[in-house]
Amino acid sequence: MSTFFYLLGYLAFFGFICLAFLKIRSYMKASPLHARWELYPVPHEGEKSSHGGSFMEEKDWWCKPRHVSHTSDIKALVFEVLFLHATFEHNLKLWFRTYPFHVGMYMLMGGIIIVLFSLFLQAVGIAPDNGFMIFIGNVINAVVLFGGLCIVGGGLALIHRRMNDEGLKKYTTPEHYFNLGAFVLFGVLGLLAWACSPSFFNMARDFVCNMLSFNFQPLPSTFFTLHLLLGFFLMAWLPMTHMGHLLMKYFTYHDIRWGDTPTTYSEANKQKIPDMLKYSASWSADHICGNGAPKTWLEIATTNPATPKSES
């Protein structure tokens, strides 16, 4: 039975990798060129972003090589991920509920990294009863307690918000409640495993060590086993749900918001445009000379809506 349990862990990990890859690839293949938001400042403008400027304010910008500050992009991404700045700025009531939930997830993910680091230290000869290793164990135990409380509290607050907010209720599906409830249960089982065992750190370290060494030893705690089983499920389930924004947010938000590469600088865009112009639109709008009949974007782009209509 313990062998089957570890096999589920391997399957969950590789399932997450494969499903995440397939989801990102399918989006990239299916998504057309997006329309620019024209919202500034854009972080990769570097110093120009301080006053909301862009490379287009330079004279003859199309004749000059373009310089993109990827460091500024990364800083903006990290700031948004760590603090959910956009939610804080535009929906403070939601931020007070979703931020603890995200902090709990970040802490547990960070805890896994620390456990892997402790195994590395152990592999290079540092004894498990070394003072520094004991300190790491205490940190992990504190992280699990605080992270579990944040997941449970934040998850319940988000469920309550979806049930009582008139705006969110319109867009809430049973899947939203299922996903949040599963994470709340995951946090509860983690807290029970923490409370009923001498050291959560020792259990986590032994489990990860067993996974890496293919040593399929049974786990000492029922709550810890259930906690991991639900974690395996969530790992494989997450890429297929609304919570897949963990994987897709850059592509569906930041890339669209900051994507300001002119066609002049992008061979990939040049190759996509002929196919995009073949798509049809049947809008009835004066600004595109629309009358409800299907037209290709090439026809729309080459028609001047300001041209006076000929009298019949």
24 in any annotated domain:
yes
Q: Does residue 179 lie within any of the structural domains?
A: yes
What is the mean predicted confidence (pLDDT) over 90-99? 94
Q: What is the pLDDT of residue 226?
A: 97
**Residues 123 and 248 both lie in one domain:** yes
Model confidence pLDDT, tens digit, residues 55-73: 888 889 888 888 888 899 8
Query: 245 and 301 share a domain?
Result: no
In-domain check, residue 307: yes
Task: Name all contacts of 277-284 with Cβ < 8 Å and 24+ positions apart.
Answer: 277/301, 279/32
Task: Say yes or no: 158 and 102 in one domain.
Answer: yes
Eight-class DSSP state of 264: G
In this structure, are 238 and 164 located in the same domain?
A: yes
253 and 281: one domain? Answer: no
**Is there a domain that residue 310 lies in?**
yes
Domain that holds residue 74: 2-31+67-258
Residue 37 in any domain: the answer is no
In DSSP notation, 40-87 reads S--GGGGGGGGGT--GGGSTTGGGS-----HHHHHHHHHHHHHH-HHH
User: Which percentage of the chain shows pLDDT scores above 90?
Assistant: 56
Higher pLDDT, 285 or 200: 200
Class of residue 241 by CB neighbours under 10 A (exposed 0-12, middle 13-18, buried 19+): middle
On whether residue 271 sits in a domain, the answer given is: no
ω into 32 cis (within 30 of 0): no
* 226/296 same-domain check: no
CATH assignment of the domain containing 254? 1.20.950.20
Tell me, yes or no, whether 311 and 200 share the same domain.
no
Do residue 103 and residue 230 come from a single domain? yes
- Both 142 and 186 in one domain: the answer is yes
Give the pLDDT score at 312: 44
Residues 167 and 296 in one domain: no
Res 311 pLDDT > 60 = no
Domain assignment present for residue 263? The answer is no
- Is there a single domain that holds both residue 287 and residue 226? no
The total of other beta-carbon atoms located within 10 Å of residue 82's CB is 11
Q: Judge whether 59 lies within some domain.
A: no
Structural domain total, the chain: 2
Q: What is the residue-averaged pLDDT of the chain? A: 90
Do 228 and 137 belong to one domain?
yes
pLDDT tens, residue by residue, 121-176: 999 999 988 999 999 999 999 999 999 999 999 999 999 999 999 888 888 999 99
